[in-house]
Chain A
Amino acid sequence: MTNLKRRTILAGIPAALTTILAGIPAALTTGALAACGSSTEEAAAGKPADLDAALEKGGKLTYWTWTPSGEDQAKAFMDQYPNVEVEVVNAGTATDEYTALQNAVAAGSGAPDVAQIEYYALQQFSLSDSLVDLTQYGFADLEDQYTASTWGAVNLGGIYGLPQDSGPMVMLYNQAVFDEFGIEVPTTWDEYVAAAQALHAADPGKYLTNDAGDPGFAQPLMWQAGGHPYTVDGTDVKIDLQDEGTRRWADMWNQMLEPGLLAPISTWSDDWWKALSDGTVSSLIIGAWMPGILEGSVPDGAGDWRVAPVPSYDGSPATAENGGSAQSVLKQSKDPALAAAFLRWLNSSEESVDVFLGSGGFPSTTADLTSEEFLSVAPEYFGGQKINEVLVAASENVVPGFEYLPYQVYANSVFPDTVGTAYTELSDLNAGLTAWQETLVTYGESQGFKVN
């Protein structure tokens, strides 16, 4: 998922347009369709042999994705299996796609056969019974091919997708700015906070990093700090946004937020690119898919940027997954065996992963992560640093056991209402987190979950 959340810039306009077209009447109509649609019938249990048979027989598939290489991967697939026709549709990036997908699921028709879904949203779709459990097709055997953290994200009491990519968090920093202000590369968060203070004191126009309040960023940071704010057991949900790890992050982050040491620039905004270009923002804590994007979008930074592990709390390396997607087979698919066969090829065949890597993606497949060719890449942009070594090391240090909510898409949508206040008022994050928790508990209960 190379350009994970460019949605904020790219999707702004289409989202606004959809909004107008859809409006309230559309909301009601969608509801109308939802009530008319009958629940999808349980597909007859399949078996591994069905996949090859389905590829032989052929058919038509629809595939929703916003991965840049999606189109090329589908083309390579059709060259290999001429009986199968795959139509690639970009139904929006991330949240926009989920909205369309949720509506199609609720309506009982219109969903694709295969869709890209970020890890954090996967549980929501598996819980609403929208996805095919791929265990029946023998997908459990594929476990060895993927990193532990990505496999853990798709294995949710059934295998509800295959990992496409991963985003273990790393730190990108601007060596030129660090040199100019005599800043050592921080290895712990204490050093990081100190560096943020020193830099901003030396030049009030410069910030060590930016954060304008982004749930897709805050949660990986909680994760990295050892937080387990959500515990999900079927329909029993426990939410504690004040557990030890989450507080550890919030207290540390407060030290930068409250004195205004975080640039109030939202990630993926036009401002942000400008700030990265001119050195206003000199480091990023971000997924391993970022180096390729940085190189493509901030040409002015060539030679200045470097990659390092995320600062730790206690000196031992720990990181979290920031973004990353799986592809899943929808229950609405008329030919789930064929869809599963395509998916298997898409995210586990060398032909497909090569196309994906060629577009600058960061893989979830251990074979690619450990290949000599991959590890030895030393881009000029990063001053000849063998960046993949750092990135791959990060993928091995992901703290296990973090769970997302079964209604995470909604949860993220109300983050600005609650935690966002702390960002606009430069006040205590813990208060915002507590307010967020209240909203999430109320929503969970209204949706029939047993919360806390």
Chain B
Amino acid sequence: MTALKQHAQAPERLRRPRPGPRRVRRDWRGWQFVGPFAFVFVFVFIAPLAYALWLSLFQNRLVGGNVFVGLENYRTALADPQFWDGALRVGLFLLVQVPVMLLLALIAALSIDSARLYASGLFRLVIFLPYAVPAVVAVLMWGFIYGNQFGLAADLNGLLGSDLITPFAPKWILASLGNIVTWEFVGYNMLIFYSALKTIPHELYEAAEIDGATRFQVVKAIKLPAARGAIVIATIFSIIGSFQLFNEPNVLNPLADNVITSYFTPNMYAYNLSFAGQQYNYSATIAIIMGLITAVIAYVVQLRGTRREDR
């Protein structure tokens, strides 16, 4: 404590000989360090956000031009069945796909970490590989597998003499998308979990062994608690990713006729509103509302996740 106090006094002593007025002068050195970051942050983050907010207060019509409408766009959006249709769809997607994906990733990470797996390095690489495939390529590839006229699905149906496998049917499309997203991101999440498991000190395992703990007890008492932080992070990433679902449905759209609507997910809705419908203002409104919803849910998960961690 004394050391700290002395340290705190030090600047006081240094400053004393200097004349008074200098103290008033603002010291900009800190800003010079922060400057490059602040510049980029303001221009690529704050400014677009502020501009989107500004845009969302207007309506630019083909006939009649640009008019200020206040919160009218928000009122429309909150009562827009197409927006809520998309929002509920990604909500459902989130509730089903994210737990499945994270559980698979966790199992994969635990298996690789268990030291019982032969050629674990190979498995780690292979499971991670889909993440390295560009999303568009991955989705097109899956699209060809799913194709019920030409793809693997068609061949299987032909082989079985049935028409049961229809990944593009309206009732299956969300599951088909979930499968693609899971395939893409299991490896990524596995790597997050695996790196968390790697940081566990070896003594803990030795202690567990001496205590006669079974492997499952080790997982439950040591590994999972250690990976909890990573699980919370991965969950938050996945929530954000789910709400921003866009590439996968958008790329599948031309392959799955009439099944993926222009408002299939909120992001697709916003995109189509502005690019096909020229409704930049309404599109900005949708983006802002969806951003708020995402932020709130991610924040709640973070709060809950960290509270458990403290316990």
Interface, chain A (partner B; CB < 8 A)? 8, 12-13, 15-17, 19-20, 22-25, 27-32, 34-35, 95, 99, 102-103, 106, 127-128, 212-213, 235, 264-266, 269-271, 274-275, 406-407, 409-410, 413-414, 416-417, 420-421, 423-424, 443, 446-449
Evaluate contact between B247 and A16: CB separation under 8 angstroms: yes
A-B CB contacts (within 8 Å), total count: 139
Give the B interface residue count (CB, 8 A): 47
Q: Which of B136, B251, B261 contacts A417 (CB 8 A)?
A: B261
Min CB distance, A260 to chain B, in Å?
12
A420 closest partner in B (C-beta) = B258
Given contacts A31-B280, A407-B62, contact A416 B136 (CB under 8 A): no
- The B150-195 residues at the A interface (CB cut-off 8 A) are 150, 170
Known: A13-B136, A270-B150, A417-B263. 10 other contacts (CB 8 A): A16-B247, A19-B247, A22-B275, A27-B287, A28-B283, A213-B257, A271-B149, A446-B61, A447-B63, A448-B61
B48 x A28 contact (CB < 8 A): yes
| A404 nearest CB across to chain B (Å) | 14
Given the known interface contacts A24-B267, A446-B279, the answer about A416 and B257 at a Cβ–Cβ threshold of 8 Å is yes
Is B238 an interface position by the 8 A CB rule? no
Residue B55 lies at the interface, judged by CB distance under 8 Å to chain A: yes
Point out the residues of chain A lying under 8 angstroms from B62, CB to CB.
Answer: 127-128, 406-407, 447-449
- B-chain residues with CB within 8 Å of residue A25 when the two chains form the complex: 48
Q: Which residues of B contact A12 (CB under 8 A)?
A: 140, 251, 254
Partner of A266, one of B251, B257, B271, B278: B257
Flag if B149 contacts A17 (CB, 8 Å): no
- Asked if B150 contacts A13 (CB within 8 A), the reply is no
Q: When the two chains form the complex, which single residue of A31, A128, A271, A274 contacts B274, counting CB atoms closer than 8 Å?
A: A31
B63 and A448 within 8 A (CB): yes
In the bound complex, do residue A264 and residue B150 qualify as a contact, i.e. CB atoms below 8 Å apart? no
Contact A30 B274 (CB under 8 A): yes
Q: Which residues of B contact A (CB under 8 A)?
A: 48, 51-52, 55, 59-64, 66, 135-136, 139-140, 147, 149-150, 170, 246-247, 250-251, 254-255, 257-259, 261-263, 267, 270-272, 274-284, 287
* Given known A27-B283, A413-B277, contact A212–B63 (CB-CB < 8 A): no
CA distance A421 to B275 in the complex (A): 23
9 contacts between A and B (CB under 8 A): A15-B254, A27-B280, A30-B274, A31-B284, A274-B150, A410-B276, A413-B262, A421-B258, A423-B258
Question: How far, in angstroms, from A23 to B136 measured CA to CA in the complex?
Answer: 14
Alpha-carbon gap, A409 to B262, bound state (A): 13
B142 to chain A, nearest CB (A): 13
Contact B135 A20 (CB under 8 A): yes
Residue of B with least CB distance to A412: B276
Q: By the criterion CB–CB under 8 Å, are A449 and B254 in contact?
A: no
Instruction: Write the nearest CB–CB distance from A413 to chain B, whole angstroms.
Output: 4
| CB <8 Å contact, A416 and B277 | no
- B residues near A414, Cβ cutoff 8 Å: 262, 276
Q: Which residue of A lies closest to B148 (CB)?
A: A264
**B82 → A minimal CB distance (Å):** 8
Known: A8-B254, A31-B280. A20 touches B136 (CB 8 A): yes
Q: Are A424 and B259 in contact (CB under 8 A)?
A: yes
Task: Specify the chain B residue showing the minimal Cβ separation from A7.
Answer: B254
Whether A32 contacts B51 by the Cβ 8 Å rule is yes
In the complex, are the beta carbons of A31 and B55 less than 8 A apart?
yes
Given known A25-B48, A416-B262, contact A34–B280 (CB-CB < 8 A): yes
**Chain B residue with minimal CB distance to A18?**
B275
B280 surroundings in chain A (CB, below 8 A): 27-28, 30-31, 34, 106
Chain B residues whose CB sits within 8 angstroms of the CB of A34 once the complex forms:
60, 280
A159 to B62, CA, bound (A): 20
Residues of B with C-beta under 8 A to A266: 254, 257
For the complex, what is the distance from the CA of A436 to the CA of B222, rounded to whole Å?
58
Which partner residue on chain B sits nearest A96 by CB separation? B275
Q: Please, which residue of chain A has its CB at the minimum distance from the CB of B64?
A: A448
How far is B162's CA from A328's CA once the two chains are assembled, in angstroms?
Answer: 52
Question: With contacts A102-B278, A414-B262, A447-B62 known, is A24 near B257, CB below 8 A?
Answer: no
Chain A residues with CB under 8 A of B147: 271
Residues B246 and A23 in contact, CB atoms below 8 Å apart: yes
Of A23, A95, A410, which contacts B278 at CB under 8 A? A410
Tell whether, in the assembled complex, residue A27 and residue B274 are in contact, meaning their CB atoms are under 8 Å apart: yes
Residues of A within 8 A of B48 (CB): 25, 28-29, 32
Contacts of B258 in A (CB 8 A): 212-213, 416, 420-421, 423-424
Complex Cα–Cα for A210 and B17 (A): 91
Is B63 within 8 A of A449, CB to CB?
Answer: yes
Chain B residues within 8 Å of A270, by CB: 150
Q: State A414–B262 Cα separation when bound (angstroms).
A: 7
> Is B287 a contact of A424 with CB atoms below 8 Å?
no
Given contacts A16-B136, A24-B287, A271-B147, A423 and B257 within 8 Å (CB-CB): yes
List the A residue with the shortest CB-CB distance to B154.
A271
Give the residues in chain B near A95, CB-CB below 8 Å.
276
Q: Give the distance in Å from the alpha carbon of A138 to the alpha carbon of B307 in the complex.
A: 77
Q: Which residues of B contact A128 (CB under 8 A)?
A: 62
Is there contact, CB below 8 Å, between B283 and A16?
Answer: no
Closest to B170 in A: A424
| Interface contact A19-B61, CB-CB below 8 Å | no
Contact A447 B270, beta carbon cutoff 8 Å = no
* A413 touching B254, Cβ below 8 Å: no
Could you tell me if B257 and A212 are in contact, using CB atoms closer than 8 angstroms? yes
Task: Please give me the residue from chain B that is nearest to A271 by CB atom.
Answer: B149
Residues of A within 8 A of B246 (CB): 19-20, 23
Chain B residues with CB under 8 Å of A13's CB are 136, 140
When A24-B287, A27-B280 are in contact, do A99 and B262 touch as well, CB less than 8 Å? no
Report how far A71 CA is from B139 CA in the complex, Å. Answer: 33
- Report how far A34 CA is from B274 CA in the complex, Å: 12
B-side contacts of A413, CB under 8 Å: 262, 272, 276-277
B247 touches A106 (CB 8 A): no
B-chain residues with CB within 8 Å of residue A35 when the two chains form the complex: 55, 66
Contact: B271 with A27, CB < 8 Å?
Answer: yes
A420 cross-chain contacts in B, Cβ below 8 A: 257-258, 261
A173 CB, nearest partner CB in chain B, Å: 21
CA distance A136 to B66 in the complex (A): 30
The docked-state distance in angstroms from the alpha carbon of A271 to that of B280 is 36
